[in-house]
Amino acid sequence: MKFQTPAGKNPIDRMKVVGKPHDRVEGPLKVTGAAPYAYERHSVIANQAYGEVVGAAIAKGRIISIDLAEARRAAGVIAILTAENAGGIGRGDFIFASPLAGPLVEHYHQAVAVVVAESLEQARAAAALVRVDYDRADGVYDLSSAKAGATKRASVPDAAIGDFATAFATAPVKLDAVYTTPDQSHMAMEPHATIAAWDGDRLNLWTSVQALDWAMRDLPKILKMPRDKVHMSSPYIGGGFGGKISSMSDAALAALAARVAGCPVKLALTRTLLVNNTVHRPATIQRVRIGAARDGKILAIGHENWTGNLPDAFVEQSTVPTPSLYAGANRLATTRVAVLDLPEGSSMRAPGEAPGMMAIEIAMDELAELLGMDPIQVRLVNDTQVDPSDPNHPFSTRQLAECLHVGSERFGWSKRAAKPGARREGQWLIGMGVASAIRGARTRTSAARARLDAKGIVTIETDMTDIGTGAYTILAQTAAEMMGIGLDDVVVKLGESDYPVSVGSIGQRGAASASGAVFAACTKLRQTIAQQLSLPEGDVDFVDGHIVSGGRRIPLGKAAAAGEIVVEDVLEFGPEMPKKYAQQAFGAHFVEVAVHASTGEIRVRRMLAVCAAGRILNPKTARSQVIGAMTMGVGAALSEELAIDTRFGYFVNHDLAGYEVAVHADIPHQEVIFIDEVDPTITPTKAKGVGELGLVGVAAAVANAIYNATGVRVRDYPIRLDKFMDRLPAVA
């Protein structure tokens, strides 16, 4: 099925199953421990041995020698993998650092060896006996010191419209400020883990990966083997946030270790290892300049971004939201990249928009203050229904103003003190903050298979994954709506690489793309059933478990009485819709904080997210995604930072004790409102993604609330009390 024109009326619009807050269909498996995660799949292959990674103790340099003698003599040791016996190692398209060091070391905790033993305890004990001598080289580990040497990447061209320099210089009101965001870690609950087993020249992996198609592209390249000789299984994932998009080092190391050991190997990266061994969100330095008229209309907006990474690796494009967010004729966006010798940076939830909005939305608050205007009013004045970078490119839907209006009313914005530091409750300074949210409504070609059996059960198969977001449930709802049956009559199977290829759980694409694939497969199933029963085309419906045509009601299962009906289809997204429409999801975040006047302690008291993200397929699972994202935004605002030892090039706080994520005690009442919206230009289900929209803007809303409470502006995240304590209002 090709998606080339806006979707018309179709079975999804009945909304008998879709759009309802159904519980997760896989929920009972998860709460009873019956949903198998990668490391726990004990029954998939017999005689599993255990792998333990030895991470490099330097960030840059060479391995002079590795002494394995004592480790090899240790109890239970089967084999030890190093670069010497690994064979040739290639490189995939997503991760650029090699999974195994030797002789060169590219980053701290890059694997130098994997010890395989009969038990985990034996593997861990033997790994401690491996002795490695290094020749340490000097490296560059600090973005601020490397900023002057940062260069432009061909993959991230500058964007300039109009005459920014002149418009900014002549603007009556000017803001020119620099904001910084730190390196951040995904810190998913489930660590990176893989079980690998060879069957001759065929490789089976039970792993934790968000996008199987990317993993099936990259891992064979790393192992230098044919793709059709690899099978991956990843039906349940305990969180990813971009850190498991493709095959990471655990999959490659488990596969290589299993080949050397001659037996299946299960390998999980310890919490301490995964922070430096896998990927993270890179730090940014962002300069935002806004020139405005006295009425608040933006005349010039410039967003300059500096970031760093290993050579040729991912670029954190913090300027991504700037071209589409607010109106303004004269615009500039640039990105410069420094080569750093830190562990590799890559995608983390809402790459680009998340750090970019941490800067832009503070800047909009600062502009409002310069203008003497309410922060919401400044945003409304600069709203637009056409792409600011191309006036001939209208938004497919854009309800940012509606989100701001609804949120303002629900949150009680009128009670906000216009003068910072003016509202007190005892020893607590109280403030409110707001920020807009934007995230691209992206899709990618996806496929699904649909089966109908004689009992009337419809089974959906696709390599789409569920990272805890509810994919099993929304795909079941889509199939149930299309086939006129209840959720109990749908079985959804995900996460096998021999299933039809989908987008995977990445970049807020999953819900729209994968539900569209199920729509396409079920459309073909409906057509096949009608043909098989010789029913007249155009006069067939599927209602309450029956096929209805010309006054006849035929039980659905009867169509498969002679044998299971199996169909497969691909929903292909052509360039037509994105060329005609700017496709984005919009929202608004509201936060109230209390800051202790004497100690600087910050307490988030209330949070509200208002989202316009197309048709909401399941408001319960969507709300869960948004409140999880809001929680992540609080962490980004107040505590999350990978601290770098700039002498030796590693992240010091590489565990959950030192890297502080937001916990239950940090999070207050959270409310989520979904604006009624369908977008027929996105997919046949008229849905957009929402999981990353719930994050972008949250940190800035927290920062703006802190400013409103205290009158102290902090432009460097995270906002720790040591950054503003000495500037708090005097205590009476």
DSSP line for 398-454: --HHHHHHHHHHHHTGGGS-SSTT--EETTEEEEEEEEEEEEE-----EEEEEEE-T
Structure confidence at residue 730 (pLDDT): 84
Domain boundary among 277, 311, 344: 277
The alpha carbon of 451 is separated from its chain's Cα centroid by a whole number of angstroms, namely 31
Quote the number of domains for the chain: 3
Kindly report, residue by residue over 646-689, the tens digit of the pLDDT.
999 999 999 999 999 999 999 998 999 999 999 999 999 999 99
Whether residue 55 sits in one domain with residue 13: no
Q: Which residues of the chain have pLDDT under 50?
A: none
CB 441 within 8 A of CB 689: yes
Q: Which residue has the tokens 């949120």?
A: 407
Any domain includes 614: yes
- Of 124, 646, 597, 30, nearest to 342 (Cα)? 646
CA dihedral over 650, 65, 224, 114, signed as positive or negative: negative
DSSP one-letter code for 186 = -
In a domain, 386, yes or no: yes
Same domain for 673 and 623, yes or no, is yes
One domain, residues 424 and 451: no
Segment 398-455, tens digit of pLDDT: 999 999 999 999 999 999 999 999 999 999 999 999 999 999 999 999 999 999 999 9
Q: Classify residue 147: in a domain, yes or no.
A: no
Residue type, 363: A
Nearest-angstrom CA–CA distance, 7 and 5: 6
Tell me: do 432 and 447 sit in the same domain.
no
* Residue 692: active-site member: yes
Q: Angle between the 353-371 and 619-638 helix axes, to the nearest 10 degrees?
A: 70
Q: Of 243, 277, 311, which residue sits at a domain end?
A: 277
Edge-to-edge strands, sheet with 546-549: 541-543, 546-549, 552-555
Residues 80 and 31 in one domain: no
Please report whether residue 69 resides in a domain.
Answer: yes
Looking at the domain assignment, is residue 328 inside a domain? yes
Contacts of 515 (CB under 8 A, 6+ apart): 474, 475, 478, 617, 683, 685, 687
Instruction: Report the predicted TM-score, pTM, of the whole model to 2 decimal places.
Output: 0.97
588 touches 634 (CB < 8 A)? no
Q: How do residues 355-386 score in pLDDT, each as one tens digit?
A: 999 999 999 999 999 999 999 999 999 999 99
E runs forming strands in 556-636: 565-573, 584-596, 602-612
| Residue 151, domain member (yes or no) | no
**Residue 149 lies inside a defined structural domain of this protein:** no
Distance between CA atoms of 615 and 619, rounded to whole angstroms?
10
Same-domain pairing of 96 and 243: yes
CATH number, domain of 501, equals 3.30.365.10
pLDDT of res. 169: 98
Would you say 393 and 386 are in contact if contact means Cβ atoms under 8 Å apart? yes
End residue of a domain, out of 575, 602, 618: 575
The SS3 of residue 503 is coil
Q: Give the pLDDT score at 731.
A: 74
Q: What is the pLDDT of residue 732?
A: 58
Question: Within a domain: residue 165?
Answer: no
Q: Are 639 and 570 within one domain?
A: no
Which structure tokens are listed for 728?
Answer: 């708090």
Buried b / exposed e along 589-628 (16+ C-beta atoms within 10 A): bbbbbbbbbeebebebbbbbbbbbbbbbbbeebbbbbbbb
Round to whole Å and give the CA distance between 480 and 686. Answer: 16
Q: Are residues 472 and 489 in the same domain?
A: yes
Asked whether residue 326 falls in the same domain as residue 336, the answer is yes
Q: Which of 190, 316, 592, 692 is catalytic?
A: 692
Cα–Cα distance, 228 to 499 (Å, whole number): 13
**Domain match, 429 and 474 both:** no
For 237, the token pair is 């994932």
Element (H or E) spanning 521, and its range? helix 510-532
* Residue 533 lies in domain: 2-36+443-575
Give the residues across from 433 on adjacent strands: 591
DSSP for 472-502, please give it.
Answer: HHHHHHHHHHHHT--GGGEEEEE-BTTSPP-
Strands 330-339 and 298-309: parallel
456, 549: one domain: yes
Same domain, 568 and 592: no
Task: Find the distance separating the first CA and the last CA of the chain, reported in whole Å.
Answer: 70
pLDDT by residue (tens digit) across 217-259? 999 999 999 999 999 999 999 999 999 999 999 999 999 999 9
